Amino acid sequence: MSNDKDFLPINGTDFVEFYVGNAKQAAYYYQTAYGFQPLAYSGLETGDKKKTSYALRQDKITLVFTTPIKQGTDIGRHIDLHGDGVKFVALWVDDARLSFEETTRRGAKPYLEPQVKKDDHGEVVVSGIHTYGETIHLFVERKNYNGFFLPGFREWNPAYKTQEVGLKYVDHMVGNVGWGEMNKWVDFYADVMGFKQIISFDDKDISTEYTALMSKVMSNGNGYIKFPINEPAKGKKKSQIEEYIDFYNGAGVQHVAMATDNIIYTINELRKRGVEFLHVPESYYDTVPERVGEIDEDLGVLKDLHILIDRDDEGYLLQLFTKPVQDRPTVFYEIIQRKGARSFGKGNFKALFEAIELEQENRGTL
Ligand code: FE2
């Protein structure tokens, strides 16, 4: 890596905000199924007459669910067009004004000029720029703030609480973009945000009998933020990326990967709570020992929980993907545990895609 000064230093993912049709029920789902803890609320009671938001947290992951409470809002239009989906990928920075200046100077389309939000706990500066589709990157500066989330929110402390499931932080977030658009967005992350490309896959790496995709992984300077960008590639039938683009009506966040230190515990808990995962064929495990070699975990346990395993030069990783978490076949989650590996499970793609195709076939969208 070069010694160029990082013009956009990022401390991590600040929060991920979804626009959803029913924020109250979404919040309950993430509490109940995923073990997120209630954090903050805004709505009529806090003076917001147009929308309601719930923020939930598990370790370093903060998710926000927002819904309109009046007709004719931009949020309502967004939900009609895209269904439930990720609107804001908020990045935690030390200087939200500078982040806005540096990125817009390099060609980012402004979304929100730097804005100061204050309450009794101090002030937060927020700014924002557009990325692919209707997705927005917010820059959140909170060094002069000691409240629990953001000004405008109040503490949300309902009687109902659940046990966490061991989710720790956002490992990476994947964007699906349209035909021939991957390089445009790779260039955007490189030129406008100073990210570097760390990995690339083409349709020879990622293809099955029917579907293919291409992907490049962009990372910020310290590696805390990793954004793989996918585009569909020609296959015999419709790829899962194309299916996503059709139902989301454009580019958007495909999956959020959340890291755990104990994937066996996490997946076991999630399954007990009703989270649905992609079905991994039994035969997948026949070739695991020769492909992956020695691992700490009991292969029988991994097989029972249908957890996937892949190895690279630096170590191995364990991962599993949920089914889409709304009615449209769009956004889903990945649960990942890294044991040295810094890659993204390329060795699993084929098995995984075959599993996804089975789902697509059931939906009649293959
Ligand atoms: Fe992933």
What tens digit of pLDDT does each residue of 22-45 get?
A: 999 999 999 999 999 999 999 999
Residues 275-284, mean pLDDT to the nearest whole number = 88
237 has pLDDT over 80: no
Structure tokens at 359: 């789902």
For residues 125 and 116, the answer to whether their CB atoms sit within 8 Å is yes
Rounded distance from Cα 66 to ligand 1 centre (Å)? 24
Residues 6+ apart with CB under 8 A from 200: 214, 215, 216, 217
Average pLDDT, rounded, for the chain: 93
Residue 175 to residues 82, 188, 212, 233: CA-CA distances in angstroms? 14, 13, 16, 15
244 has pLDDT over 60: yes
Which residue from 122, 156, 127, 128 is spatially nearest to 142, judged by alpha carbons? 122
Residues 345-359, mean pLDDT to the nearest whole number = 78
Rounded distance from Cα 117 to ligand 1 centre (Å)? 34
Question: What would the 3-class secondary structure string for 78-147 be?
Answer: HHHHHCCEEEEEEEEECCHHHHHHHHHHCCCCEEEEEEEEEECCEEEEEEEEECCCCCEEEEEECCCECC
The amino acid at 298? D
Q: Taking the CB of residue 104, how many other CB atoms lie within 10 A of it? A: 16
Q: How far apart are CA 250 and CA 326, in angstroms?
A: 17
What architecture is the 167-363 domain classified under in CATH? Roll (3.10)
Q: How far apart are CA 181 and CA 344, in angstroms?
A: 21
Rounded distance from Cα 111 to ligand 1 centre (Å)? 27
Rounded distance from Cα 43 to ligand 1 centre (Å)? 33
- Which residue blocks in 257-312 are alpha helix, DSSP H? 263-272, 288-292, 299-305
Rounded distance from Cα 257 to ligand 1 centre (Å)? 6
Rounded distance from Cα 154 to ligand 1 centre (Å)? 33
pLDDT recorded at residue 22: 98
pLDDT 10s digits, 214-223? 899 999 999 9
Angle between helices 240-248 and 349-363 (to 10 degrees): 50
Residues 282-310, mean pLDDT to the nearest whole number = 91
Rounded distance from Cα 125 to ligand 1 centre (Å)? 30
1 has pLDDT over 50: no
Domain boundaries for CATH 3.10.180.10 within the chain? 4-155, 167-363
pLDDT 10s digits, 105-156? 999 999 999 999 999 999 999 999 999 999 999 999 999 999 989 999 999 9
**Model-level pTM?**
0.95
Per CATH, is 4-155 categorized as 2.120.10.70? no
Rounded distance from Cα 224 to ligand 1 centre (Å)? 14
